[in-house]
Amino acid sequence: MNSTLPVSHHYVDIPDGRLHRLEYPGTGPPLVCVHGVTGTGWVWHDVADHLADVASIHAVDMRGHGDSLWSPTHDYSTASQVEALAAHIDDVGLDGVNLCGASWGALVALEYAAANPQRVTRLIIVDIEPSFGVSPTDVPPRPQWFDTFADVEAWLADNQPDAPASAIAAMANGSFRGADGGKIVARHDPFLYEQWPFRDGDHWPALSKVACPTLLVHATATFVQADAMERMAELINNSQLVQLEQSTHVVPLDRPADLSNTIRDFLAANPS
């Protein structure tokens, strides 16, 4: 596994700012990947390395995350994230795209696929429920700063105990930055310490509108309910559900090899 892949940075201008994505090296067709809340495109680092012979990973930074725009009005609704994803996909320039999302990013990918069935060739939904029934302000506490990047890596490794060192290092160095006073902070809008805008959404109606082959991945060591994902698989035509044993919720970081093997098998079984 490479310690740090040679990524390229791409930007898309939209009316209220600029969006950013990472493009990892690969020889296969593009696979556009969307991270979860408080993440960045760096969470896909090791997945991109594992899949480099079958896909080139285009990993977006969602609005409010990484090097994409931070909205002065905190406009981070799932609908606004879908619009941002559409801008990235238009910029990639494909008539049909393979699309993958994890957590909140999976809801964004789902809604895009439901609204644009002619544009999505294959869809991958990683560890999410279509609704939660909790307030957007019901946000679990997280440290807002660290003294060193080593402290960041230790915190990430504590929360994703099986994550490879290469994935932890890429996430720490790409998704955190130095700040005033010598502290290390996450590369996302601090507003996301207070609200997670997707938590009161209802995305069940989108499932029956998906028209492409779909892979659903459920992590067994997570808060996401298995029966919810089983119901999702029932509502999407031509779908399959795979359980990833022992994985925590941030699957691309915690179990990149297992996730990549699952994606590889899915792509091979459903050629575009």
Q: How far is CA 26 from CA 56, 73, 87, 145, 187, in A?
A: 4, 37, 22, 34, 26
pLDDT at residue 247, as a whole number? 94
Rounded Cα distance, 190 and 258, in Å = 32
**């720490």: which residue's tokens?**
172
pLDDT at residue 133, as a whole number? 83
Rounded Cα distance, 115 and 171, in Å = 31
pLDDT at residue 95, as a whole number? 81
Buried b (16+ CB within 10 A) or exposed e, 93-115: eeeebbbbbbbbbbbbbbbbbbe
Which residues in the chain come in under a pLDDT of 50?
Answer: 1-2
pLDDT at residue 143, as a whole number? 97
For the question of whether the overall pTM of this predicted structure is more than 0.95, the answer is yes
pLDDT at residue 251, as a whole number? 98
Q: How many CB atoms lie under 10 A from the CB of residue 145?
A: 14
pLDDT at residue 1, as a whole number? 41
